[in-house]
Structure 1
């Protein structure tokens, strides 16, 4: 391998250093199966779904910790019925030693089920620090949000950044997943130009069926034009196969400029495929280093 190739391979390998994963509360058996292919200390986000209860969420965070990983429980603002619900969740996390890191989302309900309309309102309560939270993740939307206009998204990002600094709490951003590197890096540049210096993890779908990827992409407003998905490596006319993020990560590596974008890491949306995603990441790292 020539020196230039060695540099590119090293860059691709480092892009997957300290990647994070996502699971649901019901995915604990899948995490057990995948444990040997996931590096110890990996951050694993545990989603906050409407059809799961408090004990299931707490048990999932405990399992992540027990298996040697770092639990990052999600807290969905609009799904909290009361301040008491919020405190019970935080108290449970603290009691289990799983409250260090959380990830805040607004949540899907169009009408909040309680007093919290968005993740900023959770930060503003001051309860996160009170219950031992040290690191708070927030969302980023390089391709926008189907129900929120761009101006509101930028305002919310700046406000959350300011609120975290005022607490003070450490923070980071995880983006929605996408199939096109260009809008992702353009968004990252804009984030930096607005003075938001939080670490950013780029959301990437793990290997999954193309039909399933299209379903999630439609739900979250991700661009799926023929030209975009062709860049990613699959065709809208053939939805029966599977696709992985190989092309996306190589394109991200090639276009990433640390001086403009800062340090970037990867967050995998596994869609239930913890083993498939972790095995894919191990193969990609090995092939890139070869």
Structure 2
């Protein structure tokens, strides 16, 4: 991640270098295939999906560590059934993967399945630091959230940032992906105006089929109008083929001002596969 504030725009390579990736608990075979491409020490987030169990998530995090990367396990607050289950998960993670950081998110269930209604409750629970966690990433939504109003989103983000500071955690923000740089830049500027100085990783989809990208966009409430699609580099009238984030990354780098937008890097969503995403990032960095 670029780390020194200044007045110069980062280059596209600067922005991509130090990227993080995301995988599911079922992606360990795909990770093994991509080992020769992903730079050593890369942060690899491991999701916490409803169709996976704790042992699968732990095994995936262990595979990330064994491959020479830095595992960042997700914890979906509303999916955690009890404090005892959270402790079992964190203890197993430490024994098998040794993570120092996690990504704390509220999660999909409308009602919590246990005692943790949101990421803030995880951060303030005392359980993370009890199991060796020193760094916590939280979620950001530059285009808003389909089920949460903006005022509530901003208050939650400010409360979480304050709680991270109070608990002594190093923090960061990972955003939902999008196809348009304009709301990202507006959101970053407001984030800094509100006094939140955490490093931000902007969520970007790696190369993937256009139909697949649009399906994920619908699922997560990401805007994908004809104009936005054209700006990103594809057409809604021709859904065949794949598209990558080259134009998005170049446009974002050209508009970023570190003094205004703070420390910014990229988090790559692997909708088109780990190997293809990592190869794109490495080749983009080299080519830029």
TM range (shorter): over 0.9
SS in 2 for 1:25: coil
What displacement does 1:286 show?
Answer: 2.0
C-alpha distance in 2, partners of 1:172/1:110?
25
Q: Name the residue aligned to 1:78.
A: 78
1:169-180 matches, within 5 Å, as: 169-180=169-180
* Structure 1 residues 117 and 216: alpha-carbon distance in aligned structure 2, compared to 1, 3 A threshold: same
Q: Name the residue aligned to 1:214.
A: 214
> Retained in 1: the 8 A contact 2:179–2:229?
yes
Deviations 1:224-257 (CA, angstroms, capped at 9, x unpaired): 1111111000011111111100000000011011
Q: Name the residue aligned to 2:19.
A: 19
C-alpha distance in 2, partners of 1:47/1:206?
17
* Structure 1 residues 113 and 272: alpha-carbon distance in aligned structure 2, compared to 1, 3 A threshold: farther
Greater Cα shift, 86-95 or 226-235: 86-95
1:1-290 matches, within 5 Å, as: 11-271=11-271, 273-288=273-288
Question: Number of residue pairs matched?
Answer: 281
What displacement does 1:272 show?
Answer: 5.5
What displacement does 1:13 show?
Answer: 1.2
C-alpha distance in 1, partners of 2:272/2:22?
8
C-alpha distance in 1, partners of 2:44/2:203?
13
Greater Cα shift, 234-243 or 90-99: 90-99
SS in 2 for 1:177: coil
Moved over 3 A (4+): none
Q: CA RMSD in A?
A: 1.3
C-alpha distance in 2, partners of 1:180/1:134?
33
TM-score of the superposition, structure 2-length normalised?
Answer: 0.95
SS in 1 for 2:27: helix
> Retained in 2: the 8 A contact 1:24–1:272?
no
What displacement does 1:97 show?
Answer: 4.3
C-alpha distance in 2, partners of 1:152/1:145?
10
Give the number of the structure with larger relative contact order, counting CA–CA contacts within 8 Å between residues 6 or more apart. Answer: 2
* Structure 1 residues 162 and 9: alpha-carbon distance in aligned structure 2, compared to 1, 3 A threshold: closer
In structure 2, the gaps of 5 or more residues are 1-7
Which one has the bigger helix percentage? 1
C-alpha distance in 2, partners of 1:64/1:97?
8
What displacement does 1:96 show?
Answer: 2.3
TM-score of the superposition, structure 1-length normalised?
Answer: 0.95
C-alpha distance in 2, partners of 1:191/1:267?
18
Q: Name the residue aligned to 2:4.
A: none
Q: Name the residue aligned to 2:3.
A: none
